[in-house]
Structure 1
């Protein structure tokens, strides 16, 4: 059965499922007064539209990973926390470089997922991805993570293509006192944090150390260690003004290299990241708000021994030593960003948020570019929330932007959220998004060999990728049962996907980039949350079923060449089009159970499963990631003392059942390395 036929069959069934939930026996439960008939216990989210809205009134599906879930999961990093999001892929290139993406866009750089930290983009040139390993932020300082599952360029611009991850850190006023913690075992972490309140100024300082010894094998050099410093201060000069100051940095050492591959020798790379962010919020007498934010982020990295000529590195060239094929790779990237946002109340039934953003992106990458490049994008956004009758909310918005490389686009979005009853909401929406070319695609130098071969600039100017998403959603909040349910049925059509243009230069069969592919994604995502004992215990279940397909949207340069055209066509048919459906696992999901065993004991168990998947930059002769069925466990004991002091000892075991599933590997030597059982013990003191 084709994917489109499957989706057509699935749609009526899903509609019946949603309507049945909305009009089932629970719909007849207590209605409440006219004033609170549509107030629910659902969490407020900020990311979907830039307005504070309950998830039942947001224009897109949103997953909220709160502080309780972060602790219960036992995860130490943000990428691992994404396993709690339905439909999200989490992998590690050669075991130690995290990859996070929705749908089938699961290559190492994953440029189609916007990542924000307190509204500041962590998306850096030249590859447009996120360097997860050295984010200058500690998991212990995260309040919650909001994940918009669907195109969101209308609110957050190009590259919010399949969704947005917004990491929201804890407010300084909520972290007063001193905390120290240390971990030992497979992970060896340490944290010292102190916070104070002094009149109208609150501040928090966190010093952290993260380290991981990898998969404990001799095939990969995948150990890593990162030092993190993070500061947040809140200054309140008046009742109508507040200033938020954030800054931080990270210094890390990250192992690279694969045993038996001289062109990928064991070595230690280094990276330093830093950021500064200053926000001023003013509340006008009318209650409207204006917020001005400036942020700066930079990253400097060094690979001391990167191969730029694989034949020489493998000692296959007479007259040259293997060392002559290696060099040092130094990369420096920087971003400046200035944003103004205004939120206005237009009468009792209408809210508007609008603003503008100016940005400057700079990259200096001598092995990839002929010279340093700077681009200066700008954006203008507007979103309107309009309450029609009492039971409906209409969201409409768009983003107009210039990517600084000659492309200008707009990304409209609209949704209608209808409250069938106080506890049941249906959502129908259409959204669009763009993904602008990144520097590494647009400005690649003709003489570079950084990926082990020859590459040339695009023969035609690259244009933004574009996606159109249609979805039907259901949100239910059965408060008397302690149960909430969210489901989403979607279809996404992608055009102008930027892909490798094979042998664009015939003399040396050098590759380039071009807008070549079109893709189609269909799926169903469901989340259910059950809380009892006044929220002390909870069970959260996620499930996603996905289909992906692709076709040629344009022809590669040599597609009809009389000599190599047949080989080029076979290359795309066998390496991309035929393998594309494997880029999204058919079924995936998670279960997270957290229970208080007694006043001072807590047990959490996570189950994570995923069908087989093949990342798009993995060739057909490389072992795919086989299905995963993994169980994690966290057991914690709390000790309470006088004056509010307390301590906690916790043990975390990952892959308790020893599923030993293989990892994302670009070659078989790595793809056959399993993820084995891991464990560590953490002790923390708060005073």
Structure 2
């Protein structure tokens, strides 16, 4: 029997067998967090101190532990698909394009992504190598997503959004966990974890994960006689986390190492990228006698990547330290301030196809921030703040933020804000030297004078608990950009180069509606509408293009059903769809995902997951530089997990 046939039989037989074994003695609620409690969820990334989601003065979504467990997701980007305002597109078997409020692409540069406050974006193109950040999903406590600028607190490159992945404390993961997944695309995923609490209340955990993902398919035709693009991937990682006992002074230490390879579908031959890296992070938090909360955090990170398609090696070392203090001066006034320093050291080994000049560089980024919160009356709050950040080659950047929050009635919050954010130039913008071999006949040269892209944003929203069973979250925004990146012809060098020759506006709507239809059934939905108008600010030399123009669908939507069949069984079904991107030649698509799970006892769960179930194989984004266009396949996967 083929693997596909085996999985189909599993899909038919497992629910039938489970139904026959139903029994009592196992309490399991569908809605671990009922609709009426969703807005009380803690969020810390919006104001850099803990607060409730209901009070957040920004377009904010929190994916909680319960959400993560029930999604038909096998990677971090998959988890982000059901967030209004985000666009997640899988490019091939291991590469992704993820952005907030427009301008998406593999080299997208306006979204800051962190894990426990540690930035995972790279200085090469100011984006995220998602294949190198295959974090075990079982270790995640929640994911906080802020759409819109967050630069006043988080700095340069937090332009269109901020994502902070918060991992579980060691106290939350004591004991053992073993999990295994097998499918027609997910060829094998094995996870092991062990945690223990010490006598003094401190705790630790260690974990490992191995992951093998199969190839996609070419969208049309084949290459070299095969329709398999060679974009499979493998990764192995080990890590640990230790947390102190709760108290006025707490600490956390975490570390991880990984290695693997990511196959690609480049032209004209299929190759794979070797990747490896590690990090070590520590944080100390102290509650002072006056009620102030002081936090110190530092980390070291290393990444190495051999880009086989272009024959070059990219290596980066990062050292970061920051300090912040949040103090309630009186019941109506809170002040949060801090600063930090970050050092990037970049090394590369070039090839005839691609190199960097210089091939090695070091950059020191220094920042200070201040945020002032005033409670004028119980229903009205004002937040004002700014960050001053010095970035080499971009100079000193001032990024202010002003927010107003009004609570006219219990369960209703109206907020509005305006902010300025900056995207600084990176290694690709300034230093790349692409020889134009194999991919294009036109060379590309970096521009040492490339400046910063700037954003002025106005946004507002209404967050409401309409009834005990119905919650709504609506956001509107208008973004004005200046000095956007373009790629124009440079006649003096007979090549293409990067310039700040574009400007434009984007505006949109994001809406989430959650309804608890019954005690054991919940419906969640989301809608994203987007429009952009980008143009040249000066007449460019031809040929030319505006980077990332047309890289975001004008509409997206999803509907998700979460149903507890019984105390042991859950069935979750999701429809998601994205409109076309005509400027990129990408049609729209809609598809279904599902996850059925059966808890055999308190410690053992089996699950069947299906993804991309309707319609033919489909593309999710346009072809990117160095890679052929591939299509996403139907997926079926069986998973088994056991706590011990």
The two structures share one fold, judged by TM-score above 0.5: yes
Measured after TM superposition, the shift of residue 544 of structure 1 is: 0.8
Give the aligned partner of residue 515 of structure 2.
Answer: 530
Q: Does 1:553 align with 2:557?
A: no
Give the aligned partner of residue 521 of structure 1.
Answer: 506
Measured after TM superposition, the shift of residue 661 of structure 1 is: 2.2
Contact 1:124/1:335, CA 8 A, preserved across alignment: no
Measured after TM superposition, the shift of residue 267 of structure 1 is: 2.0
1:668–1:419 Cα change, 3 Å? closer
Give the aligned partner of residue 193 of structure 2.
Answer: 193
How far apart, CA to CA, are the structure 2 residues paired with 1:532 and 1:351? 40
Bigger fraction of residues in strand: 2
How far apart, CA to CA, are the structure 2 residues paired with 1:230 and 1:674? 33
Measured after TM superposition, the shift of residue 679 of structure 1 is: 0.6
Give the aligned partner of residue 301 of structure 1.
Answer: 305
Measured after TM superposition, the shift of residue 532 of structure 1 is: 6.1
The 5 Å alignment of 1:94-493 reads 94-135=92-133, 137-186=135-184, 187=186, 188-200=188-200, 201-215=202-216, 218-236=227-245, 239-258=247-266, 261-262=267-268, 265-304=269-308, 306-307=309-310, 328-367=311-350, 368-370=355-357, 371-445=359-433, 452=440, 453-458=442-447, 461-478=449-466, 480-493=467-480
Contact 1:94/1:666, CA 8 A, preserved across alignment: no
Give the aligned partner of residue 630 of structure 1.
Answer: 591
Give the aligned partner of residue 613 of structure 1.
Answer: 581
Q: Deviations over 1:422-461 (max 9, x none)?
A: 11111111111111111221223487869754233426x2
Contact 1:40/1:423, CA 8 A, preserved across alignment: no
Secondary structure at 2:538's aligned position in 1? coil
Give the aligned partner of residue 66 of structure 1.
Answer: 64
Measured after TM superposition, the shift of residue 167 of structure 1 is: 0.5
Measured after TM superposition, the shift of residue 286 of structure 1 is: 1.2
Measured after TM superposition, the shift of residue 94 of structure 1 is: 4.1
Contact 1:341/1:353, CA 8 A, preserved across alignment: yes
Give the aligned partner of residue 664 of structure 1.
Answer: 621
1:446–1:170 Cα change, 3 Å? closer
Contact 1:55/1:61, CA 8 A, preserved across alignment: no
How far apart, CA to CA, are the structure 2 residues paired with 1:113 and 1:413? 17
Give the aligned partner of residue 80 of structure 1.
Answer: 78
1:439–1:646 Cα change, 3 Å? same
Measured after TM superposition, the shift of residue 528 of structure 1 is: 1.3
Measured after TM superposition, the shift of residue 361 of structure 1 is: 0.7
How far apart, CA to CA, are the structure 1 residues paired with 2:326 and 2:154? 16
How far apart, CA to CA, are the structure 1 residues paired with 2:189 and 2:258? 14
Q: CA RMSD in A?
A: 2.4
Measured after TM superposition, the shift of residue 597 of structure 1 is: 0.0
Secondary structure at 2:567's aligned position in 1? coil
Measured after TM superposition, the shift of residue 191 of structure 1 is: 0.6
Contact 2:399/2:421, CA 8 A, preserved across alignment: yes
1:95–1:519 Cα change, 3 Å? farther
Contact 2:322/2:340, CA 8 A, preserved across alignment: yes
Contact 1:251/1:273, CA 8 A, preserved across alignment: yes
Contact 2:92/2:631, CA 8 A, preserved across alignment: no
Contact 1:548/1:583, CA 8 A, preserved across alignment: no
Secondary structure at 2:623's aligned position in 1? coil
1:359–1:483 Cα change, 3 Å? same
Give the aligned partner of residue 543 of structure 1.
Answer: 527
**Unaligned 5+ residue runs, structure 2?**
1-35, 219-226
Secondary structure at 2:377's aligned position in 1? coil
**Unaligned 5+ residue runs, structure 1?**
1-37, 308-327, 560-567, 615-619
Give the aligned partner of residue 31 of structure 2.
Answer: none
Contact 1:61/1:150, CA 8 A, preserved across alignment: yes
How far apart, CA to CA, are the structure 1 residues paired with 2:298 and 2:625? 45
Measured after TM superposition, the shift of residue 374 of structure 1 is: 0.7
The 5 Å alignment of 1:14-25 reads none
1:676–1:658 Cα change, 3 Å? farther
Secondary structure at 2:345's aligned position in 1? strand
Secondary structure at 2:78's aligned position in 1? helix
Find 2:570's aligned residue among 593, 602, 610: 602
How far apart, CA to CA, are the structure 1 residues paired with 2:603 and 2:53? 34
1:456–1:594 Cα change, 3 Å? same
1:121–1:586 Cα change, 3 Å? same
Measured after TM superposition, the shift of residue 498 of structure 1 is: 2.0
Measured after TM superposition, the shift of residue 469 of structure 1 is: 0.9
How far apart, CA to CA, are the structure 2 residues paired with 1:297 and 1:133? 16
1:93–1:267 Cα change, 3 Å? same
How far apart, CA to CA, are the structure 2 residues paired with 1:297 and 1:152? 23
Contact 1:136/1:230, CA 8 A, preserved across alignment: no
Aligned length: 592
Secondary structure at 2:349's aligned position in 1? coil
Contact 1:430/1:468, CA 8 A, preserved across alignment: yes
Bigger fraction of residues in helix: 1
TM-score, length basis structure 2: 0.87
How far apart, CA to CA, are the structure 2 residues paired with 1:252 and 1:120? 22
